[in-house]
Structure 1
């Protein structure tokens, strides 16, 4: 083959989002296979080598029994010893309570609890997959992710698969809506003056210039910004040297609408001078959505 084959193995907890994941890879131009038995994989590789036309493959492997899991482990070991395949394992996870909720919503039976409780099936599956999860290249917890957000996260991780380089995700959020479960660094900026109490600024967000200027006008904001940015610039080379491919920095205020948004934009812009940075505002429009629904 003229170039190495890129393989993404998609696995994880049943109900954690593998269907959404495989659809995302299809959209990115991957040749996708859903639930191929591991025992058929060697023959598949031979066909791929002979064709020479497929360079990116996403393969979903689903857990149905302990023996099936052992086949998966054997398959991954064989792939690791194959020089022409670059492999990454994507593990999708979610909290037990969220998985139970999803099963109740779809009225599906858990593959390891056909005649029993969903919670028991989840417990068995989590124990069986524990070792595989530790070996995964990327773990995404989908507990608080919508299908759209999961697609965006997968795109961020895989859309430039041949492109090397450290990536930073800056995420603003509101503490009232919960902590981001996938954050590596969390910073609380609720100590800064709140634009919420300025009537003309309340309906706006940190993306709007009046709010941004208000947040940045205070000396404590400038002191925080300089020190936090300095800290990030100090520790980033260490993450790079340790081989970490991405880092998620979450900046939170009360509602995720004003202060966290403004600071995320400024810090993200500064870090873009040296790194690849993506900025996301998780809760920026939550208040507006709540008002519209009411």
Structure 2
């Protein structure tokens, strides 16, 4: 009798705008022990995955970087995605960034955009956006890298695609300061500016939400505990629904004026209240802590 083969592993398709960070994500995935194949024509996806299935459990997680360097072959990607998703667990991550940021990145490396032809870098970006619109719409995860450096994007990749044991969904509670702008790729935003600002307390101003004195002050304000109880209760059915819909990651941004006091305390408190949601891994990130 032929021995039973291991179940086919997870497949991740990494695609998106040129200059948005695909290489950085691929390198981070390799560090996480994913088997990464770069610039593979979409028509070769199925033969590649068939080979990995023959290897049994030797290649449990495969990441394939697909982009416009495949020229006309890139048009096969949507159909290839639909075919693959019928037989394996396939997720698509789409890397994006604003036009202005992409132009700056191409100018910094002094390389033309692969689709600009005789036109400008911006012409190439616009052509690429049109070509990738159906892929972006069908993606499981969209990461806007406009405000991320290489290190931050690597950390985001680890948060999204590192081992989480039995977790089917990862939620990141991200504190931030409104005066520095909204995080670009969040799912929900909570505004903590309804609470008194510790900044106006001379003793608390130099401290942060990581300090016990600030935590005690913020949580002692009228409405703080009521908000935490109500908002965490409201998030529970959302997280359960995300798991049913196979949405693997979400970001809840918790903001105050500077991202130093109230938002830091409340993000941590929300994380503590959500830590026992079945199937969910909870992370905390402080985007603007330490900024002047």
Distance (whole Å) between structure 1 residues aligned to residue 41 and residue 54 of structure 2 = 21
Tell me which moved more, 242-251 or 232-241: 232-241
- Indicate yes or no: 2:68 matched with 1:68: no
Q: Distance in 2 between matches of 1:231 and 1:77?
A: 34
1:195 correspondence with 2:228: no
Match of 1:279 among 276, 279, 284: 284
> Which residue, 25, 31, 38 being the options, matches 2:29?
25
TM alignment of 1:194-213, pairs within 5 A: 194-213=197-216
- Asked if 1:58 corresponds to 2:63, the answer is yes
Q: Is 1:12–1:93's contact at 8 Å kept on the other side of the alignment?
A: yes
**Cα drift, residue 232 of structure 1:** 2.7
Aligned mates of 2:96, 2:241 — CA distance in 1? 27
Partners of 1:49 and 1:237 in 2: CA distance: 31
Q: Name which of structure 1's ranges 60-69 and 145-154 shifts more when overlaid on structure 2.
A: 60-69
1:215-234 alignment, distance < 5 Å = 215-233=218-236
User: Cα distance, 1:76 vs. partner?
Assistant: 2.6
Instruction: Please list, as runs of the form range in 1=range in 2, the aligned pairs for 1:1-294 lying within 5 A after superposition.
Output: 1-52=5-56, 53-64=58-69, 67-81=72-86, 83=87, 85-160=88-163, 163-233=166-236, 235-274=238-277, 275-287=280-292
- Contact (CA 8 Å) 2:35, 2:59: kept in 1 or not? yes
Q: Indicate if the aligned counterparts of 1:66 and 1:128 stay in contact, CA closer than 8 A.
A: no
Query: How big is each residue's C-alpha offset from its partner over 1:164-201, in whole Å with a ceiling of 9 and x where there is no partner?
Result: 42332111000111101111110111121111122222
Q: Gapped runs of 5+ residues in structure 2?
A: none
Alpha carbons of structure 1 residues 240 and 54: separation in structure 2 relative to 1, 3 Å: closer
- Partners of 1:8 and 1:87 within 8 A in 2: yes
Query: 2:143 aligns to what SS in structure 1?
Result: strand
Aligned length: 285
Q: TM-score by structure 2 length?
A: 0.89
TM-score, length-scaled by structure 1 = 0.88
**C-alpha distance in structure 2 between counterparts of 1:163 and 1:230, whole Å:** 22
Where structure 1 has 5 or more consecutive residues not aligned to the other structure, the ranges are: 288-294
Q: Tell me, what secondary structure is at the counterpart of 1:193? A: coil
